[in-house]
Structure 1
Amino acid sequence: MIEAELKARVHDPEYVRGQLDRLVEGRAEVYQDTYYDDPSGSLGSQDQELRVRTIHGPNSTRSLLTYKGARIDSTSGSKPEHETRVDNPEAVHAMLHGLGYVPAISFQKRCQNYEFSSHGRSFLATLVQVPEIDGTFLEVETMVPEEKELSSALDDVRSTMGELGIHTDDFTTELYTDAVAARRATR
């Protein structure tokens, strides 16, 4: 599967939140993300990601193991994504360590998630705040099975973001991992 996703800086979070709340009730969750790489950094240098995410919601906690391949669209940063739920994240962390992977970076994201349908697609819109980064971000994504569907899906994501009050000059491809690492480097 390919994650057709766009991310934007949000200049008026309350307006965007209000637009999303009109569509569907949001779900507040806190993500604890740990990104892994080998000691030489070869995954990162090849634009790949290996992540263990634990999601703390109001009534439950769940964990996911995610692998993202290199970007197939430089404008959006969209990547092939393979993800599975894991029952024992501590065991997954131990397995990754045992295979020679090391934590490259770990950080928290505070998210408000909205799942809805529009333009004939299922979307996940997430308002994101990363405590170590200034500002609020909006991610809107939909999944497509093949690369040939990516362009059309991204057009629908762009339209949906426009309907939520996001302008073209608000889009960013900056990675949270890079922004957090840069912030930590200046401390």
Structure 2
Amino acid sequence: MPVEVEVKARIRDRARIEAWLGSRSSGVTSIYDDTYYDFADLRLEHASRADLRLRRITTDGNVRLLWTHKASALADGGVPELETTVGDLESAAGILGALGVTPKIAYTKQCVTYRFPVDGHQVVVTLERIAELPHEYVEVEVMAADADDRTGAWRVVEHVLDAIGVTAQDIDPTCHIALVRAARAAVRAIE
């Protein structure tokens, strides 16, 4: 199973990041509408952040639909991931509902995505903004084909993070789901 090797960090210097990325690739601006699903007993969430997501990506009026499962993280932080395109989001959600899996959280991300090769790996760097969160984020991702490929994938991710000026203090291991939940809880607390 392919393994996602990814680091998410707060953006401190967007201009520096965009300059470096722009010298390697053209950014593609998209809107990601993400809905995460789980069983009533939250067994996926309790399984070390396993995720089941339906995503609608809108780019220049074109829509692409993806169904993604991320398993529990491995010891090195990589996450086994399976992803496929979906022809009809409502039908996919209906199938999940028939299996007892229902939406647990949904949010929208405004994204600019850059894709380019480094040392034989395809790198995906996404600049992300979720309106409910106080920070913008950058995600640097490489899909490793197998366990033997993960070490090289981590080296590539670390190289890109260093090149765009991300430091250890910028890295945020908290998943977007937890960040959005906390932001929504804070708003409810003051209402």
Please confirm whether the aligned pair reaches a TM-score higher than 0.5, indicating the same fold: yes
SS at match of 2:169: helix
- The alpha-carbon deviation at position 70 of structure 1 amounts to 0.1
Q: State the AA in 2 paired with 1:149.
A: D
User: Structure 2: how far apart are the matches of 1:118 and 1:145?
Assistant: 15
SS at match of 2:174: coil
User: Structure 1: how far apart are the matches of 2:7 and 2:57?
Assistant: 21
User: Structure 1: how far apart are the matches of 2:75 and 2:162?
Assistant: 20
Corresponding residue for residue 54 of structure 1: 56
Corresponding residue for residue 119 of structure 1: 119
Change (3 A) 1:141 1:165: same
Asked whether 1:22 is paired with 2:23, we answer: yes
Corresponding residue for residue 71 of structure 1: 73
Corresponding residue for residue 83 of structure 1: 83
Q: State the AA in 2 paired with 1:68.
A: K
1:126-173 CA-to-partner distances (Å, cap 9, x unmatched) read 001111111111111111121232232112111111112212221121
Corresponding residue for residue 172 of structure 1: 172
User: Structure 1: how far apart are the matches of 2:68 and 2:117?
Assistant: 24
Larger displacement relative to structure 2 (175-184 or 117-126)? 117-126
SS at match of 2:127: strand
User: Structure 2: how far apart are the matches of 1:171 and 1:155?
Assistant: 16
Instruction: Extract unaligned runs of 5+ from structure 1.
Output: none
Asked whether 1:149 is paired with 2:149, we answer: yes
Q: How does 1:5-16 map to 2 (within 5 A)?
A: 5-16=6-17
Instruction: Extract unaligned runs of 5+ from structure 2.
Output: none
Corresponding residue for residue 159 of structure 1: 159
Q: How does 1:133-148 map to 2 (within 5 A)?
A: 133-148=133-148
1:65-96 CA-to-partner distances (Å, cap 9, x unmatched) read 0001000146xx42100000001011001111
User: Structure 2: how far apart are the matches of 1:169 and 1:32?
Assistant: 28
Q: State the AA in 2 paired with 1:171.
A: I
- TM-score, normalised to structure 2, is 0.93
Corresponding residue for residue 43 of structure 1: 44
User: Structure 1: how far apart are the matches of 2:19 and 2:26?
Assistant: 10
Asked whether 1:106 is paired with 2:106, we answer: yes
How many positions carry a matched residue from both structures?
185
Moved over 2 A (4+): none
- TM-score, normalised to structure 1, is 0.95
SS at match of 2:183: helix
SS at match of 2:154: helix
Q: State the AA in 1 paired with 2:52.
A: L
User: Structure 1: how far apart are the matches of 2:160 and 2:107?
Assistant: 28
SS at match of 2:23: helix
